[in-house]
Structure 1
Amino acid sequence: MILRALALVACLAIAACAPRGTVVVMPEAASVGEVERVFIGSTRRNDGAGENYSRNRGYQTRFARFDVSIPPDRELGSLPWPPRNGAPDPRKHMLTTGSAGYDDDAAFRAALRSEMASQRKGAREAVIFVHGFNNTFAEGLYRFAQLHHDMALPGVPVHYSWPSRGTPLGYAYDRDSALFARDGLEHLIRQVAAAGADRIFLVAHSMGSGLTMEALRQLAIRGDQPTLRRIGGVILISPDIDVDVFRAQARMVGKLPQPFVVFTSARDRALALSARLAGESARLGNVRDVAVLAGLEVTLLEVGAFSQGDGHFTAGTSPTLIRLLNRISDMDNALGGDARSRVGLLPGAVLTVQGATQIILSPVVALGEGLAQ
């Protein structure tokens, strides 16, 4: 077992030698692709012109906006980086068309308020994405632009970029950085609420899920119920969280925002390695038995049947699964209601244990409904 874990670590180290994604600016791409305007809150330190958002930690939350072009010639769920050598093609590659920085909280709130002004008053929404382990600034930004576009997520996109080291061998550094970044995420959530968002959706991946739960826990400890009431739903994708820790976090938060959805996969190799290194049978993102979450109002979506590769971000990379989720006309009803309301909206086996619901999605059903076309 130890040798197998070491072999996986070695494979990750080899993968680290591959070129990493970077922000490439091409303003003319705005006339070719569909532009996602992503607002940024970051605790990555500015280490100079070439490292404006570095892997190092900064105590101040900095704010910006990046406009990302989604190319038309792209498979659903893919993230096509421009080549390191050669000219980028706006029809094939994700590119940045423009950006802006904000000097302080007030300037950021004003820009975000202006962006949300097109939404109906009383129904203004924003979605905050928190990236996971081993992400550069560019990778988190472009992945969220792709996810927001492909999954048609609601509201204005806001990305929280915390100081991941951006290497597979930096797990301990990233775990500590996620704890370091709790205050920054809490501050960002408050700024989004102060900008006029009536509902804020939180979407987090991997290690970012633990960071997100810690921020919710801090809001509860501070008694900030007005901000917590603005949280209109939470989605944790492949959360790298100890199950007992998650239960303790949820207990402190109290009534969890609804819908509260956890994407799980029994085929998630990254979480299998994380569990082995922690001496556990599973992490939250690859639990097999919904009973371990009995008493919590959460919905587990088991998507392992759709997984490819390491299976650690299936919800955002599987074209078939994305099409399936996009066909759900009423996500709040499907994921926030009782088990009976989910039947027919989310095809698959459904099991409910004391409030916690597990839905095992099947690609066979999806293909039968024409979702892979």
Structure 2
Amino acid sequence: MTRCPSVATALAAALLLAGCAGDVKGTLVPVAAVPADTTKVSMLVVTTRAPDQDPGVLFSGERGRMSFAEIVVSLPPDARRKTGEVQWPSRLPGNPETDFVAAKVEKLDRNQAVTLFHKAVQKVPKRRVLVFIHGFNNRFEDAVYRFAQIVHDSRADVVPVLFTWPSRGSIFAYGYDRESGNYSRDALENLLQTLARDPAVGEVSILAHSMGNWVTLEALRQMAIRNGSIPPKIANAMLAAPDVDIDVFRKQVADMTGRRPRFTIFVSQDDRALAVSRRVWGSTARLGAIDPDAEPYRSELGKSGITVLNLTKLQTGDRLNHGKFAESPEVVQLIGSRLIEGQPITDSRIGLGDRLIQVTAGAATAVGTAAGLAVSAPLAVVDPATRRGIAGHAEEFGQSLRSASDAIVAE
């Protein structure tokens, strides 16, 4: 216990340094022209962040009232980018041929946002909506570009709605970010209630990562208490590397009386970020790091009908093991052909049911099938600590990161 603060500080320092490499801020000023061979992803943004005077930032990490925006992101031609990655500009303005850039940015009032949404949802088969809630240590532009990457690479035929809450985008702002999640849960519930009641909407899937799962679970819990049940239109809730105390999660799910969405949880016992969170909070376990084969989790999950994918044996380039699918193009692409196209997570045709899927470096084991990996794509969402420039500094910071986090995981 006496060495915990120094270990956590060392890990935080390593993450901070790694995250700063090649970091360019203010990338949301639309470029003058976008070549025809680039790909465009248009999203509706709903945020509780305060507006920022810098047009390249648009919304800060401070707290504000609910605001809306339309953002169109231009992605480089597929031949010039690697699926599963966000290619950040090395300087401003970005180059649309090689970088993710903003093609259009427009703030909206509520009525304009509703009008834009209704036009978009009518063009999508079965009027499906995907709501993404990012995690800790995310600036506004981080969330925008990561979500654009997921929508494009998954080929998901949905209306993308980004819900972004006030994160300061700093490894040292964990407490502030956590309280910002509490600040934003009513707004997320309001968004989900609105989508569920809108006759133009056919189905809603939720994808949350890291601390964004806390905001999501609280919003769903409040919705269930308020309505007596969660509306059928809220079909799927995908919880990737959830930074949530396991005992709190049990209570949140228990409070969701009546009907609730199909839950899928993506866990990894070697998640270094969640190991640090466990020590910070004094938690017995974080939901995203449990061993689903161990008791009492195996029995509890079996009774609850919640599907868990155990990604511990999967090896990727993610130093934190907090976003393992960031470099898995095949899995990101499968999300569009399986989950978003209406094949439920519990569908036996993709080898899931209520079973636990153990994932290795390339395929599922005998308890599932390779197609079962389709729903693992949310782990392409990674915190900024792993986002850009880390490869060029891996040797410099890697040993410090491994030594610090290994000490925490071992405890």
Q: Per the shorter chain, which TM-score range?
A: 0.7 to 0.9
Hey, what does 1:147 align to over in structure 2? 150
* Cα distance between partner residues in 2 of 1:324 and 1:151: 6
For 1:365, give the aligned amino acid: A
- Return the offset for 1:257: 4.0
* Structure of higher RCO (CA pairs closer than 8 Å, 6+ residues apart): 2
Change (3 A) 1:315 1:262: farther
Q: Which runs of 5+ in 1 are unaligned?
A: 347-351
Change (3 A) 1:209 1:75: same
**Does residue 115 of structure 2 align to residue 117 of structure 1?**
no
* Cα distance between partner residues in 2 of 1:307 and 1:228: 37
**Does residue 29 of structure 2 align to residue 29 of structure 1?**
no
- Return the offset for 1:307: 3.1
Change (3 A) 1:174 1:329: closer
The counterpart of 2:66, out of the listed 61, 66, 72, is 61
* Cα distance between partner residues in 2 of 1:144 and 1:224: 31
- Return the offset for 1:38: 0.7
For 2:325, give the aligned amino acid: A
1:88-103 map, 5 Å? 88-103=94-109
Q: Could you tell me whether the CA contact under 8 Å between 2:339 and 2:345 is conserved in 1?
A: no
Q: Could you tell me whether the CA contact under 8 Å between 1:238 and 1:263 is conserved in 2?
A: yes
Change (3 A) 1:232 1:17: same
The counterpart of 1:358, out of the listed 356, 359, 365, is 356
* Cα distance between partner residues in 2 of 1:279 and 1:358: 27
* Cα distance between partner residues in 1 of 2:118 and 2:341: 25
* Cα distance between partner residues in 2 of 1:136 and 1:325: 25
Query: Matched residues, percent identical?
Result: 32
Q: 1:52-94: per-residue Cα shift (whole Å, max 9, x none)?
A: 3111101x21111100112121111100111225x53212111
1:222-233 map, 5 Å? 222-223=226-227, 225=229, 228-233=231-236
Hey, what does 1:206 align to over in structure 2? 210
Hey, what does 2:306 align to over in structure 1? 298
The counterpart of 1:313, out of the listed 308, 315, 323, is 323
Hey, what does 2:86 align to over in structure 1? 79
Q: Could you tell me whether the CA contact under 8 Å between 2:158 and 2:340 is conserved in 1?
A: no
TM-score of the superposition, structure 1-length normalised? 0.85
- Return the offset for 1:20: 4.7
Change (3 A) 1:256 1:137: farther
Change (3 A) 1:256 1:31: farther
- Return the offset for 1:32: 2.7
For 1:300, give the aligned amino acid: V
The counterpart of 1:263, out of the listed 266, 269, 277, is 266
* Cα distance between partner residues in 2 of 1:330 and 1:200: 9
Structure 1 window deviating more from structure 2 (30-39 vs 134-143): it is: 30-39
Change (3 A) 1:224 1:129: farther
For 2:234, give the aligned amino acid: I
TM-score of the superposition, structure 2-length normalised? 0.78
Q: Could you tell me whether the CA contact under 8 Å between 1:238 and 1:286 is conserved in 2?
A: yes
Q: Could you tell me whether the CA contact under 8 Å between 1:256 and 1:297 is conserved in 2?
A: no
For 1:283, give the aligned amino acid: R
Hey, what does 1:335 align to over in structure 2? 345
- Return the offset for 1:117: 1.4
For 1:75, give the aligned amino acid: K
* Cα distance between partner residues in 1 of 2:336 and 2:134: 21
The counterpart of 1:160, out of the listed 163, 174, 177, is 163
* Cα distance between partner residues in 1 of 2:309 and 2:40: 30
Q: Which runs of 5+ in 2 are unaligned?
A: 374-411
Hey, what does 2:399 align to over in structure 1? none
* Cα distance between partner residues in 1 of 2:35 and 2:140: 21
Q: Could you tell me whether the CA contact under 8 Å between 2:157 and 2:336 is conserved in 1?
A: no
* Cα distance between partner residues in 1 of 2:171 and 2:287: 20
